[in-house]
Chains A and B, each alone.
Chain A
Amino acid sequence: MKALLDWLDQRTGYRRIVRYSLYENIPGGARWRYVWGSTLVFTLTIQFVTGLFLWMAYSPSSQTAWESVYFIQYEMTGGWLLRGIHHFTASVMNVLLVLHLMQVVIDGAYRAPREFNFWFGIGLLLLVLALSLTGYLLPWDQKGYWATKVATNIAAIVPIVGPAIQKLIIGGSDYGHHTLTRFFALHAGVLPATVIVLLVWHIFLFRRHGITAKDPKRKPDEYFWPDQVLKDAVACLAVMATILFLVLRPWLFNTGEDLGAELAAPADPSETYSAARPEWYFLFLFEFLKFFPGGYEVWGAVVIPGMIMSVILLMPIIGRWHLGHVFNMGLSISLLVGVALLTYLAMTQDERDPAYQSAVQEAKRNAARVRELAQAPTGIPPTGAVSLLRDDPKTQGPRLFAKHCATCHRYDGHDGTGNKLKEEQSASDLKGFADRDWLTGLMDPARIASLHYYGGTKFKDGRMVRYVSRDVVKFFAEDKEKLRKVILALSAEADLKSQQATDERHAAAINEGRKLIASEEMRCTECHRFHDQGEDPTGPELTEYGSRDWLIEFISDPGHERFYGKRNDRMPAFGKDRLESHAIGLLADWIRGDWFETPGSEAAVRSANLRGLIPKPETRNPKSETNSNASNK
């Protein structure tokens, strides 16, 4: 063994290298205050290792970046942990950098001959900030997309060359594939390579000039190995524990958030994102910009930060004089206090801003929903995940309803998104439209003229209301039973997802109901067309009433002869230049409760329970249970 090592040493000189790196003299012995540099090397190493392995699963293009990060986060074993460590180590690293820098300033470790090492250190700080900034965009989610837009737009503020710089950074005039390829090349290539060069030089200079020993020396000199290494190792483990704590925080405190780093919905330039904020360590710059009125941003974004940076770089020169050192310490502390204050301001403002808070909630909802859709059997299409939310009735329906329908209609008493409106509704409440409950209410003499149905419209005095309040009100038990079947049959025309199981179970009653609708006895076809019955209709057609096609055509043109014709009361023809057919389809699907829910998920079970899809305990029998389970899928 000894001979082998001698052989190796003669050819590589490894012993000298090992000795040089391990047996560094530490005047006054190992101390806890010397661990910060090592923790930074440690965190940087974590970033290199975790980053390299994330790289193996990451795909930088606007159609695959979010998708590949989603896959890492939710599909690959341990992916959430790896990404979480990478994400939170970045935060921890920024804190450690500031601690390291403050220690250097306070101890005056920047003084001759260590000026260059100070400057390399500042360079490293800026590089790490640049790494954080570029890394924030790479998941290509709404959060990173909109926050980074702010950063790159600031680049365009720079006089004369600004727009060109911006174009070079984002790889074109707008965000796209090349923004990602460039940011990724910066994040995983250019910046880390520069960091390595500067860091090696930084450590080399540190060894050349030796540690800045803190007087008084309390102990005799010791070596780096193992005395200081032990302390460094303990500090690194503490840092790692902190990072792990941050990754596991949602689990430890049961906050209901996902473990690891957040992944918002895929970037969508057509979708507002009011929850856009930079990472917390950039919040102070974000807040600082608020103080500069239009036209003066360049002061807040470039000139003042640039001046402060220049003074920081001059610290080793200023520090030559005793008062200069005092000035440096004062400046650093006041900068730190300023940054803390601005960060605090930004955070408390957001905390007290209900608009921001609801934007955050919506962002979380969208993130959870898009994840659910990505995990659906249809999965993520090759064109990318951005269409998942755009084509999702559950996401788009409420927004479209609030914007286009809620001026007159209501949905369960609100505007679709949950907001109660002050104005009284002037048209029906469409929650559960065409389902059995909704139709039962419509045929109820006590309810048909209420605001929930026709109360707000001119149909309040129309023939339907007259029929229900004069004829239906006098129904005996036998007629009531017939009406019940009519309602079952009419509701079955809608072919609602929520009633699939019950419609199947009640097929016989529905068949009778169909005949009743067509018969003269129930008088439906006096005013409505139903399949081949109803000669001269004045009310809306009942064939496939409430089905997807029926509803789309109704929303597109309620004044069509099939529906209200000339009697149409104020409802606009949305198909005529008001809404695209895609949007009308989403509205129809949403009103009909037709969207994807993960089978067995809480939402799926809840909606099934509400609509009687799952039999109530007393009526439960094995056969109907298997039926409802089958149709639930």
Chain B
Amino acid sequence: MDNSERLQEPARRDFVKKAGSIVIGGLAGAIPTGAALTVFLDPLQRKGQRSELVHVASLDSLPSDGTPRQFSVVADRTDAWNKSPRVPIGAVYLRKTETNQVIALNVVCPHAGCFVEFNSSRKVFSCPCHNSRFSLDGAIADRKSPSPRALDALEVEIRNQSEIWVKFQNFIAGHAEKIPVS
């Protein structure tokens, strides 16, 4: 039926009805929407895994000339509902320094999170994504480096004279400061 001549807004006499409709309808709709948003926001209140010292490698496995070697970090992992005992959760570069100490660097580029590669001929770490370059000790090796900070050094502990334990941690990319991912 055509009632276009009647399609004009009536006066405000219906204010109470209109307000009532909006409030009541809004309330009915708010309940499922609220439940949906609560679940959607659930990750915000979830904490990441606590970082603990992990046995990564033995001292003998590091070349004495100071060349870094890449190792996977194996630890228990909780992924939503799954608990997986002893699975790789990341990787580190380990290197023996001139003073016979061990440094550990997270392989993740602090710029945008790509996996940094070690270029053995040029003796630098280079990021395959945006060409950030880092020296052997992890410092930024290039003035034009897109990375805001050096590679993330991790806490190292030598146990029983031969075991290298690393406190494995990820840090938020893109910041000049090291902020642990929580």
Contact = CB atoms under 8 A, between A and B. Distances in A.
**A complexed with B:** yes
B83 interface: yes
A222 to B, nearest CB: 10
Contacts of B7: 19-20, 23
Nearest to B84: A382
Given A49-B36, A57-B39, A75 B81 contact: yes
Contacts of B27: 237, 240
B20 A233 contact: yes
A81 B35 contact: yes
A68 B80 contact: yes
Interface in A14-40: 19-20, 23, 25
Given A25-B1, A226-B14, A237 B39 contact: no
B78 A379 contact: yes
A72 B31 contact: no
B47 interface: no
Given A226-B21, A230-B17, A233-B25, A380 B82 contact: yes
A418 to B, nearest CB: 32
B122 interface: no
Interface string B2-37: 010011111000100110111011011101110111
Given A57-B39, A78-B38, A237 B28 contact: yes
Contacts of A382: 82, 84
Nearest to B40: A53
B43 to A, nearest CB: 9
Interface in A206-242: 210, 223, 225-227, 229-230, 232-234, 236-237, 239-240
B81 A223 contact: no
Contact of B83 (A49, A232, A378): A378
Interface in B59-85: 78, 80-84
Contacts of B40: 53, 56
Given A226-B21, A230-B17, A67 B3 contact: no
Contacts of A232: 21, 25
30 contacts: A23-B9, A45-B29, A46-B32, A49-B36, A52-B36, A57-B39, A67-B82, A68-B81, A71-B81, A78-B38, A79-B42, A82-B36, A82-B39, A85-B32, A85-B35, A225-B18, A226-B14, A226-B18, A229-B25, A237-B24, A239-B28, A240-B28, A240-B32, A244-B31, A374-B81, A379-B81, A380-B82, A381-B84, A382-B84, A385-B81
A265 to B, nearest CB: 15
A82 B37 CA distance: 9
B100 interface: no
A378 B28 CA distance: 41
Nearest to A240: B28
A125 B58 CA distance: 67
Given A42-B28, A237-B24, A53 B82 contact: no
Nearest to B14: A226
B160 interface: no
B45 interface: yes
A210 B40 CA distance: 40
A244 B18 CA distance: 25
A379 B24 CA distance: 44
Contacts of B14: 226-227
A230 B39 CA distance: 30
A81 B38 CA distance: 10
B18 A82 contact: no
Interface residues of B, number: 36
A70 interface: yes
A230 B81 contact: no
Nearest to B32: A46
Contacts of B82: 67, 379-382
Contacts of A244: 31
Chain A's interface size range is 35 or more
Contacts of B9: 19, 23
Give the most central of A68, A75, A229, A234: most B CB within 10 Å: A229
A75 B35 CA distance: 14
A53 B28 CA distance: 18
A556 to B, nearest CB: 29
Contacts of A42: 28-29
A23 B14 CA distance: 13
Interface string A53-71: 1101100000010011011
Contacts of B25: 229, 232-233, 236-237
Nearest to A235: B28
B32 A229 contact: no
Contacts of B31: 85, 240, 244
Contacts of B3: 25
A379 B39 contact: no
A468 B81 CA distance: 55
Nearest to B20: A230
Contact of B36 (A23, A53, A229): A53
Interface in B82-126: 82-84
A236 B32 contact: no
Most chain A CB neighbours (cut-off 10 Å) among B1, B32, B45, B82:
B32
A23 B83 CA distance: 57
Contacts of A52: 36
Contacts of A5: none
A77 interface: yes
Residue picked from B21, B38, B45, most chain A C-beta under 10 Å: B21
Nearest to B27: A237
A42 B29 CA distance: 8
A25 B36 contact: no
Contact of B39 (A25, A68, A79, A374): A79
Given A85-B35, A232-B25, 6 more contacts: A23-B8, A42-B29, A57-B39, A67-B81, A225-B21, A240-B31
Nearest to B15: A226
A99 interface: no
Given A226-B14, A227-B14, A77 B39 contact: yes
A426 interface: no
A46 B33 CA distance: 8
Contact of A77 (B17, B24, B42, B81): B42
A19 B24 CA distance: 21
Nearest first, the 7 A-B pairs at minimum CB distance are A78-B38, A379-B83, A233-B25, A53-B36, A233-B24, A226-B17, A237-B28
A20 B6 CA distance: 11
Interface string A506-536: 0000000000000000000000000000000
